[in-house]
Amino acid sequence: NPYAGLVSHLRASWLSGKTRPMEYRMAQLEALGRFLDEKKQEILEATDLDMGKPSFEAYFTEILLCKNELNTTLNNLCHWMKDEYVEKNLVLQLDSAFIRKDPYGVVLIMAPWNYPIQLVLVPLIGAIAAGNCVIIKPSEISKNTERLLAETLSCYLDTDCFAVVTGGVQETTRLLENKFDYIFFTGSPRVGRIVMTAAAKHLTPVTLELGGKNPCYVSDTCDLSNVARRVAWGRFFNAGQTCIAPDYLLCTLEMQEKLMPALREAITEFFGSNPKESPDFGRIVGDKQFRRLRALLCSGRVAIGGQTDEAERYIAPTVLADVQPSDPAMQEEIFGPILPIVVVANMDEAIDFINARPRPLAIYAFSCDSKVVNQVLERTSSGGFCGNDTLMHFTLNSLPFGGIGNSGLGKYHGKFTFDTFSHHRGCLHRNMGLEALNTPRYPPYTQQKMGLLTATFEVKRKGTCTLL
């Protein structure tokens, strides 16, 4: 077991208790803040090399969003760490009942390649804040960022408690043989199953941030150009390599015709007449992924874009019209700058279409009629939901971010990350005196004692529920 030494080293640090004091956690988090400030250029360069990430996007997603999480955590850590006192029943009135937030111990964070800094740092911030030791496993596919993290994080964080492990499938498999106290995984459902199966051997709790096909329903009553811009922005951000990107559009035939010129206009507005020359449009991360995406282009008909360049791993912002459910683009999560449009007769058909498929990470619905948006919300299930926009629910760290069913289990962002990496321990601190109060519970049991017990323990209905 090649990682046994590393894991036991971290476990020894954990057992020493050094990650527990708030001052220690704050100091490590401040160091992460310095990493983001001092290595900003390196981060922008590495993500550019890895997938041609436009620097605006890289700054926004890899630096700004991380700093927000960091500041939210630093501002609130003291409060989050406090014991939460709870309401008690009659018999416990003189006692102290509270929830203590205990760190788990040594946790593992496995990150993917598409937002390689953010998807390491945001969980890491919560894991450190919660008092754990952490092993970080960045994706080997975004090799420049992997190298950056492996080489520089150790200059900022305490190497006794935080380590970066690099490598591919073999190394990850060996790593997963070890016992961790929590595993946080972001990636595909297929690998999510492998991670959870490995975790089951040690009864390690997990958070799995997975993916799926995020449907985007556009109703007939909507502001065409705003819809087109918001959808195009969400779809083509990071060249489509975003877990919550609108994966495919559902709308009527009429709407498909109307949307097309609006989408064309939005794309031109964003990337100019030749997106290949725009500094604001990214590239596909690797050759394998490029080829996979290119094969999806034979779905429906190419209405916008469709150009590719293998040498640059460039796929133009593309919209496919008249796509059939049986087409290649509808068989897997796209994860690229291709937007298929599937025609449906009406909202009910769109909802049925969505519900016949695995529950996605996000669902989008566009309509000027709020009743339509609410209908889609109420009659479907997904990790998160955004009405009349795309991606934006992700940026609010007061909202939990996570999937359901195939798109994942657990959630994070803001306080939810801290809670994810803490064990909420129910604690009751009783008085050693007043033993007389305990008498009703002791044998020998009598009806009289039963009456007393019921009176002191039960929760009475306050009144009839107003719904009935």
Partner 1 sequence: MERMQQVVGRARAAFNSGRSRPLEFRIQQLKALERMVQEKEKEILAALHADLHKDGPNAYSQEILGVLTELALAMEQLPSWAAPQHVKKDLLTMRDDIFINPEPLGVVLIIGAWNYPFMLVIMPLIGAIAAGNAVVVKPSEVSENTAQLVAELLPQYLDRELYPVVTGGVPETTELLAQRFDHILYTGNTAVGKIVMAAAAKHLTPVTLELGGKSPCYIDKDCDLAVACRRITWGKYMNCGQTCIAPDYILCDPSIQGKVVENIKATLQEFYGEDVKSSPDYERIINKRHFKRVLGLLEGQKIAHGGEADEASCFIAPTILTDVSPESKVMEEEIFGPVLPIVPVKSVEEAIEFINRREKPLALYVFSNNKQVIRRVIAETSSGGMTGNDVIMHSVVPNLPFGGVGHSGMGAYRGKYTFKTFSHHRACLIKDLKMEAVNKLRYPPVSQKKVDL
Question: In Å, how far from its chain's centre is CA 352?
Answer: 26
165-184 binders of partner 1 (CB under 8 A): 181
d(CA 335, CA 198): 26
Number of residues this chain uses to bind partner 1 (CB under 8 A): 111
Binding mask 437-466 for partner 1 (x = CB under 8 A): -x--xxxxxxx-xx--xx--xxxxxx--xx
Residue 371 as a binder of partner 1 (CB under 8 A): the answer is no
388-417 binders of partner 1 (CB under 8 A): 388-389, 392-393, 396, 398-401, 404-406, 408-411
Binding mask 320-359 for partner 1 (x = CB under 8 A): -----------------------------------x----
What are the beta bridge partners of residue 249? 216, 341
Give the one residue of 37, 151, 269, 310 binding partner 1; rule: CB under 8 A: 269
Catalytic option among 161, 209, 333, 386: 209
283-312 binders of partner 1 (CB under 8 A): none
User: What does the chain come to in residues?
Assistant: 468
Give the one residue of 373, 417, 418, 419 binding partner 1; rule: CB under 8 A: 373
Is 333 noted as a catalytic residue in this protein?
no
User: Among the candidate windows 36-44, 271-279, 306-314, 334-342, which touches partner 1 by CB under 8 A?
Assistant: 271-279
Residue closer to partner 1 by CB (options 248, 364) is 364
> Beta 96-103 vs 84-85: how paired, if at all?
antiparallel
Question: In Å, how far from its chain's centre is CA 92?
Answer: 40
Q: Residues 112, 187: contact at Cβ < 8 Å?
A: yes
Exposure string (b/e) for 128-140, b if CB count within 10 Å is 16 or more?
A: bbbbbbbbbbbbe
- Among 135, 145, 198, CA closest to 7: 135
45-84 binders of partner 1 (CB under 8 A): 54, 56, 59-60
Residue closer to partner 1 by CB (options 111, 267) is 267
d(CA 175, CA 178): 6
Helix (H, G, I), strand (E, B) or coil at 103: strand
Give the one residue of 6, 196, 260, 302 binding partner 1; rule: CB under 8 A: 196
**Tokens (6 digits) for 282:** 């990214």
User: Among the candidate windows 122-130, 152-160, 167-175, 267-275, which touches partner 1 by CB under 8 A?
Assistant: 267-275
Residues 6+ apart with CB under 8 A from 45: 144
Read off the amino acid at residue 43: I
Is 66 noted as a catalytic residue in this protein?
no
Residue 360 as a binder of partner 1 (CB under 8 A): the answer is no
Catalytic option among 161, 216, 222, 243: 243
Residue closer to partner 1 by CB (options 68, 144) is 68
d(CA 187, CA 363): 19
Residue 99 as a binder of partner 1 (CB under 8 A): the answer is yes
Q: Residues 413, 90: contact at Cβ < 8 Å?
A: no
Residue closer to partner 1 by CB (options 166, 278) is 278
Read off the amino acid at residue 296: L
Read off the amino acid at residue 411: K
Phi, psi of 382 (to 5 degrees): -160, 170
**Tokens (6 digits) for 148:** 């950056």
Give the one residue of 167, 205, 286, 328 binding partner 1; rule: CB under 8 A: 205
Residue 222 as a binder of partner 1 (CB under 8 A): the answer is yes
Q: Residues 367, 222: contact at Cβ < 8 Å?
A: yes
Min CB(153)–partner 1 separation in Å: 26
Return the active site residues. Answer: 209, 243
